[in-house]
């Protein structure tokens, strides 16, 4: 019941926040603290192309709000087998590595366009684009305030992640 790591209903979920799924009463926080681990970074799993926002937390506390060091700290993205497997079984994109990259690029382009429209409106409510929670969540990525935290399975996945980061001038960290 306590596994809230992946929301598999949509491949693009940047508006999900790790802090909304953390149970500070989970015994692993106590075990980590007792073992000397005082700070962790945690976030969504790798089911989605864009999975959501990571947070940096202290391992001691009873309320997540009091444990937060930084949130958001990174935006989870995934390449390779995880998104392909999840969405292939649902008969929707992405079913290929190409579709994963295309979905991420499309979201980044939409975020840039959304941000530019907001800036051009200069606070004029009538000129502002319609609020989009997903694109709002991606603005810190475009602004280089937080990195993409990219999960990859193979070397070619890593090259795709790096290529996209270079195309959009993004900060990125890779994991496998």
Name which of 17, 63, 82 is nearest 43 in CA terms. 17
Indicate the SS3 state at residue 116. Answer: helix
The angle subtended at Cα 89 by Cα 86 and Cα 95, nearest 5°, is 70
**pTM to 2 decimals?**
0.94
Q: Would you write out the chain's pLDDT as a tens digit for each of its 176 residues?
A: 567 889 999 999 999 999 999 999 999 999 999 999 999 999 999 999 999 999 999 999 999 999 999 999 999 999 999 999 999 999 999 999 999 999 999 999 999 999 999 999 998 999 999 999 999 999 999 999 999 999 999 999 999 999 999 999 999 999 88
Residue 176 is predicted with a pLDDT of 80
Residue 2 is predicted with a pLDDT of 67
Residue 3 is predicted with a pLDDT of 79
């Amino acid at each position: 019941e306590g596994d809230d790591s992946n929301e598999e209903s949509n491949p693009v979920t940047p508006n999900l926040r790790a802090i909304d799924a953390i149970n500070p009463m989970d015994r692993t926080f106590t075990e980590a603290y007792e073992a000397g681990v005082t700070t962790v970074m945690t976030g969504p799993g790798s089911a989605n192309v864009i999975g959501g926002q990571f947070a940096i937390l202290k391992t001691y506390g009873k309320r997540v709000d009091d444990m937060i060091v930084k949130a958001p700290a990174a935006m989870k993205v995934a390449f390779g087998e995880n998104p392909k497997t999840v969405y292939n079984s649902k008969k929707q994109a992405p079913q290929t590595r190409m579709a994963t990259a295309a979905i991420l690029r499309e979201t980044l382009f939409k975020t840039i366009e959304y941000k530019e429209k907001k800036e051009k409106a200069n606070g004029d409510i009538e000129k502002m684009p319609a609020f989009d929670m997903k694109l709002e969540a991606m603005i810190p990525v475009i602004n280089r305030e937080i990195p993409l935290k990219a999960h990859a399975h193979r070397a070619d996945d890593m090259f795709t992640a790096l290529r996209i980061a270079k195309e959009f001038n993004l900060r990125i960290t890779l994991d496998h």
